[in-house]
């Protein structure tokens, strides 16, 4: 007969067995989902193909396991995988990429969730990851087929010839190959030591290349223009040859003209040099003169019209007052007096200050232009002793043979005659 203690032990064993079986059923057999008891939420992932994925594969978030892959279902657009993500796992942002990846070299696949942001919204029960946000690896069969096609496309005879020639090329070259490897090692060490300079060169080269890219259109235009110039020169080959053949005769004529004008042309150019220096120091006054000359010419052209002269006078007497101080020593002389005149009053000038308000005139009050330059000394194309120069080395024919000449500097008197 069973005692009360035995009944109690059996009852305790039965309760423990039921609890263990229930835990195993809920945890490992996933039986809790049939009675509404589960410790995960479900997320559906739309895939083009399984990519080797299987039920009960791992689901990772940033490399950490957070669940398992549930059932896989075939749809009209591909495959739909159900992910069982643990409720205790960290929240997973809904903006993510679901990637089917290989866990090892043997091809064990899993799903890795790669978020694009750290902020919500987050995945929840019933969320769907669209096909556009998923990636699957290429099937191994396609890779093997591509490798087989590549190997089949190589002609065996040509491959055999290549291998034979490589064997002949490296046969007996062990010592040389060893030197090549040693030298390559030294080259790598030198390149490593020069890494900062190389980096700086690459950075600077980026600026140069960017500039070349920006100026690409100009470079293409320049190349096109150069091509057109070369084509035009080729078409004008006869004319160019004619110019070259006629150049010596033209140079002789130029030399003859320069000899005929010597030394008059050098004196003229020297005087013009002095004049230009005077004008250069008075540039502001010349600017004003050149601005006013067109106005005066236009006014003068409008005075005469239809055979008549039209003038208008504006009385501006004593505005400002004329300057009279400084002219007291000048003796009045009637214009009709033809008798010998007394010496001119060379000391007459306006003695009033420019700030007196009077019409102060005279060269002393003109804007200063600096000291006058020394007159330029004209050169000559005649050699010592008065003999005419043969003109070699003259302006316009610098490439003709001959001794050294003063050239244009001597002609202008800037460097002295010969």
On whether residue 45 sits in a domain, the answer given is: yes
Mark whether 401 and 266 lie in a shared domain. yes
On whether residue 166 sits in a domain, the answer given is: no
The lowest-confidence range among 55-64, 227-236, 352-361, 407-416 is 407-416
On whether residue 61 sits in a domain, the answer given is: yes
On whether residue 220 sits in a domain, the answer given is: no
On whether residue 418 sits in a domain, the answer given is: yes
- What is the model's pLDDT at position 369? 63
Q: Which of 101, 121, 142 is the last residue of a domain?
A: 142
Mark whether 258 and 404 lie in a shared domain. yes
Q: Among residues 42, 44, 50, 45, which one has the least CA distance to residue 101?
A: 50
Q: Which two tokens stand for residue 36?
A: 């509404």
pLDDT at 388 over 60: no
Reported as a pLDDT band with limits 50, 70 and 90, residue 34 is low
Helix (H) or strand (E) holding 289: helix 283-303
Rg of the chain over all Cα atoms, to the nearest angstrom: 53
Over residues 380-404, mean pLDDT: 44
On whether residue 134 sits in a domain, the answer given is: yes
CA-to-CA distance for 345 and 327, rounded, in angstroms? 9
Residue 312 three-state SS: coil
pLDDT at 145 over 60: yes
- What is the model's pLDDT at position 276? 86
Mark whether 130 and 260 lie in a shared domain. no
Q: Tell me which residue range forms the domain holding 111.
A: 39-142
Tens of pLDDT, residue by residue over 3-26, are: 777 777 778 888 888 888 777 766
Report the domain count for the chain.
2
Over residues 145-174, mean pLDDT: 89
pLDDT at 165 over 70: yes
Q: Among residues 253, 272, 264, which one has the least CA distance to residue 394?
A: 253
| Burial (CB count within 10 angstroms: exposed 0-12, middle 13-18, buried 19+), residue 26 | middle
pLDDT at 417 over 50: no
Half-sphere exposure of 303 (CA within 13 A, CB side): 10
CA-to-CA distance for 147 and 129, rounded, in angstroms? 33
Q: Which of 80, 108, 142 is the last residue of a domain?
A: 142
Tens of pLDDT, residue by residue over 110-138, are: 999 999 998 889 999 989 999 999 998 88
- What is the model's pLDDT at position 47? 92
Q: Which two tokens stand for residue 97?
A: 């990429």
- What is the model's pLDDT at position 409? 42
- What is the model's pLDDT at position 32? 59
On whether residue 181 sits in a domain, the answer given is: no
Reported as a pLDDT band with limits 50, 70 and 90, residue 393 is very low
Tens of pLDDT, residue by residue over 253-281, are: 988 888 888 778 888 888 888 888 888 88
Beta bridge partners of 43: 83, 127
Reported as a pLDDT band with limits 50, 70 and 90, residue 77 is confident
Record the pTM: 0.35
- What is the model's pLDDT at position 324? 86
pLDDT at 61 over 70: yes
Mark whether 264 and 403 lie in a shared domain. yes
- What is the model's pLDDT at position 35? 56
The lowest-confidence range among 166-175, 299-308, 357-366 is 357-366
CA-to-CA distance for 353 and 331, rounded, in angstroms? 24
Tens of pLDDT, residue by residue over 185-236, are: 888 889 899 999 988 988 888 888 888 888 888 888 999 999 999 999 889 8
- What is the model's pLDDT at position 140? 76
Task: Give alpha helix (H) positions in 154-263.
Answer: 156-170, 174-193, 195-214, 216-235, 237-261
Over residues 55-81, mean pLDDT: 91
Q: Which of 142, 173, 191 is the last residue of a domain?
A: 142
On whether residue 73 sits in a domain, the answer given is: yes
């Amino acid at each position: 007969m069973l005692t009360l203690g035995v009944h109690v032990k059996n009852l305790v064993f039965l309760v423990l067995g039921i609890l263990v079986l229930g835990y195993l059923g809920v945890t490992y057999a996933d039986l809790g989902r049939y009675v509404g008891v589960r410790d995960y939420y479900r997320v559906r992932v739309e895939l083009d193909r399984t990519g080797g994925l299987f039920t009960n594969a791992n689901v990772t978030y940033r490399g950490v396991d957070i669940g398992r892959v549930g059932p896989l279902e075939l749809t009209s657009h591909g495959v739909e995988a159900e992910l069982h993500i643990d409720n205790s796992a960290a929240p997973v942002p809904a903006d993510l990429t679901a990637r089917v990846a290989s866990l090892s070299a043997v091809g064990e696949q899993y799903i890795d969730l790669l978020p694009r942001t750290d902020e919500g919204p987050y995945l929840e029960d019933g969320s769907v990851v669209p096909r556009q946000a998923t990636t699957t690896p290429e099937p191994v069969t396609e890779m093997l087929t591509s490798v087989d096609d590549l190997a089949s496309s190589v002609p065996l005879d040509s491959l055999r010839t290549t291998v034979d020639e490589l064997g002949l090329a490296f046969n007996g070259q062990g010592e040389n190959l060893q030197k090549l490897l040693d030298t390559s090692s030294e080259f790598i060490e030198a390149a490593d030591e020069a890494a900062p300079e190389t980096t700086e060169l690459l950075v600077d080269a980026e600026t140069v290349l960017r500039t070349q890219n920006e100026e690409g259109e100009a470079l293409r235009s320049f190349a096109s223009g150069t091509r057109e110039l070369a084509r035009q020169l080729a078409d004008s080959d006869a004319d160019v040859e004619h110019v070259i053949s006629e150049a010596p005769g033209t140079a002789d004529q130029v030399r003859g003209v320069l000899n005929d004008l010597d030394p008059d042309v050098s004196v003229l150019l020297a005087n013009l040099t002095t004049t230009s220096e005077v004008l250069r120091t008075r540039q502001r006054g010349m600017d004003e003169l050149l601005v006013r000359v067109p106005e005066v010419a236009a006014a003068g052209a409008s005075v005469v019209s239809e055979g008549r002269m039209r003038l208008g006078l504006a009385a501006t007497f004593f505005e400002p007052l004329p300057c009279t101080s400084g002219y007291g020593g000048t003796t009045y002389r009637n214009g009709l007096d033809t008798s010998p005149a007394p010496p001119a009053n060379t000391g007459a000038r306006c003695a009033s200050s420019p700030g007196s308000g009077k019409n102060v005139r005279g060269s002393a009050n003109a804007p200063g232009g600096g000291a006058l330059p020394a007159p330029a000394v004209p050169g000559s194309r005649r050699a010592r002793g008065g003999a005419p120069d043969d003109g070699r080395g003259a302006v316009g024919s610098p490439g003709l043979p001959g001794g050294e000449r003063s050239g244009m500097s001597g002609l202008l008197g800037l460097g002295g005659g010969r």
